[in-house]
Amino acid sequence: MKIIEVSNGLMAKLADQSNYDGIWISSLCESANKGLPDNEIMSLDSRLQTVREVRRATSKPIILDGDTGGTTEHFPFVIQEFEKAGVDIIIIEDKVFPKKNSLLEDAIQILEDVDIFAMKIMAGKKVAKNIKIFARIESLIAKKSVHEALIRAEAYIKAGADGIMIHSKQKVEAPEIIEFMEKFKKEWDIPLVAVPTTYTLPDDHKFDIVIDANHLTRANISVMKKFLNGEKVELANVQEIFDLVGK
């Protein structure tokens, strides 16, 4: 599956007409579109409103960037609310609350204890009906080894995770991602997710889901800056807006 980031209903309507298989609601891009930093400052109600807005605009599957998922005690409530709002998959990352964005160059990334994060997954699975819970492994972001990442994957799968995301900010080819993928696929047959923001994947990769996790927001920023600086950009006509959202 190929997934594209959206942060509002208009983006979702455009994505709905594209060849992408599904939607990614990124906490980075959602917060950026609200003029906020990506550090779990957004309220649950705000995030639910975005999900409802996106769900109204598309019939494609929605994968939500669930940050850390909050506390183990709160996570079951979070799962129930996002499931009711229309999320198909929620992905939570194994860092301590409040998380720091994984792509920050100078951030010290603190990983959650494996057992605590596994208990959070189990707590969510107890109340999940149709929504799937994926675990996002941040070992490589925290400069740990592929072996450590695989140990975490095993623990999260045993806890009931429906899928795994492996994250990296290595540049160009990211051999650690390929190593993880190859070893993972020998052991487990559940969905594996990649987010190639800073690196590229070979054509013969075996990832089940690949997410373009911030590309529409980055494209928006680029075009808006050019327009504001007086550079010539190609603008959609007003009729295109009517065609997307109605008259």
Q: Tokens standing for 53?
A: 């807005």
CA distance 68 to 158: 19
The single-letter code of the amino acid at 40 is: E
**Active-site hit among 16, 21, 38, 243:** 38
The single-letter code of the amino acid at 105 is: E
What is the DSSP annotation of 57-68?
A: H--S-EEEE-TT
The residues near 58 (Cβ < 8 Å, ≥ 6 apart) are 6, 12, 13, 15, 16, 23
Separation of first and last alpha carbons in the chain: 33
Q: Is the Cβ–Cβ distance between 34 and 65 less than 8 Å? A: no
Query: Is 38 in the active site?
Result: yes
Q: Is the Cβ–Cβ distance between 164 and 153 less than 8 Å? A: yes
Q: Tokens standing for 34?
A: 């609200």
Which residues are the active-site residues?
38
